[in-house]
Copies of this chain bind each other. A is one copy, B any other.
Amino acid sequence: MSDGADTGWLAVAGLGPGDEGLITPEVTATLAEATDVIGYVPYVARVAAREGLVRHPSDNRVELDRAALALNLAAQGRRVVVVSSGDPGVFAMAAAVFEALEAGAPEWLNVDIRVLPGITAMLAASARAGAPLGHDFCAINLSDNLKPWALIEKRLRLAAEADFAMAFYNPRSKSRPEGFARALAVLQEACGDDRPVLFARAVSTPDEELRIVPLDKAEPAMADMRTMVIVGSSRTRTIARAGGPVLYTPRSVPETAA
């Protein structure tokens, strides 16, 4: 087609947690072919400007508008990359793009859409601390912007009963500072005082800070919007070392623990 619509595509790409060394070659190569990059301001800022690349930074919480812009441009024949930090499939833009696709213009169904995985925050944080997610675990978004608080609390209690290690995204924001305090209270009741908690802030960036505390010493102020929180299972252990403690969950569970 003369308008180039058959050559457009949309890639939803993960930039990883911050370090350039954690961006996959697949994502780097795809960005090099793009005509347009779309995303939240700080993520678009991670993509270098160059001739032939139009950058479309947007504010937080406009995910569906951003997805519609991306689908429209790709349907017009542009080569579009929507960028997320971490992995685009984990509490990020991939689901938003498919929500927009399902609700949107029929011609969008012909757009070539690819999701390009990235290093998600919980796995970067886990790696820095040791291997706290080395056995069965769950990942929960603690933001109640898009789901009822009662569901979050139900999931916390069931995850504790299942004895999963738990990784929490978006533990705390200015607009709902009380949510994380409530989550910690639920966890203290369900898991006891000694369960180790990792606060991993801005992993792989110059601002990186790690802190491991027992659950009864965990305080809401230890997390901000750049912090990943991981709560161990009942089997998670700490090894003391001169170079700093290691937090890990063994691969095995004895027969008596069922």
Contact = CB atoms under 8 A, between A and B. Distances in A.
Contacts of A92: 134
A16 B101 CA distance: 29
Q: Tell me the interface secondary structure of chain A in the complex.
A: mixed
A20 B119 CA distance: 15
How many copies the complex holds: the figure is: 2
A87 B123 contact: yes
Contact of A90 (B123, B128, B147): B123
Contacts of A246: 98, 101, 113
B24 A21 contact: yes
Interface in A241-258: 241-243, 246, 248-255, 257-258
A243 B112 contact: yes
B109 A117 contact: no
Interface in A137-180: 137-141, 146-151, 154-155, 158-159, 161-164
B24 A131 contact: no
A31 to B, nearest CB: 13
A192 B91 CA distance: 26
A127 B128 CA distance: 24
Contact of A109 (B241, B249, B258): B241
Interface residues of A, number: 83
A219 interface: no
Contact of A95 (B88, B162, B251): B251
Contacts of A164: 138, 155
Nearest to A153: B258
A23 interface: yes
Contacts of A150: 258
B139 A136 contact: yes
Given A94-B127, A147-B252, 5 more contacts: A21-B25, A22-B25, A95-B134, A149-B258, A150-B258
28 contacts: A21-B26, A22-B26, A23-B24, A24-B119, A63-B251, A88-B131, A89-B123, A89-B127, A90-B134, A95-B248, A95-B249, A109-B239, A109-B242, A110-B242, A112-B243, A116-B127, A120-B123, A136-B140, A137-B138, A137-B139, A138-B159, A138-B164, A146-B251, A146-B252, A148-B253, A150-B258, A155-B164, A158-B161
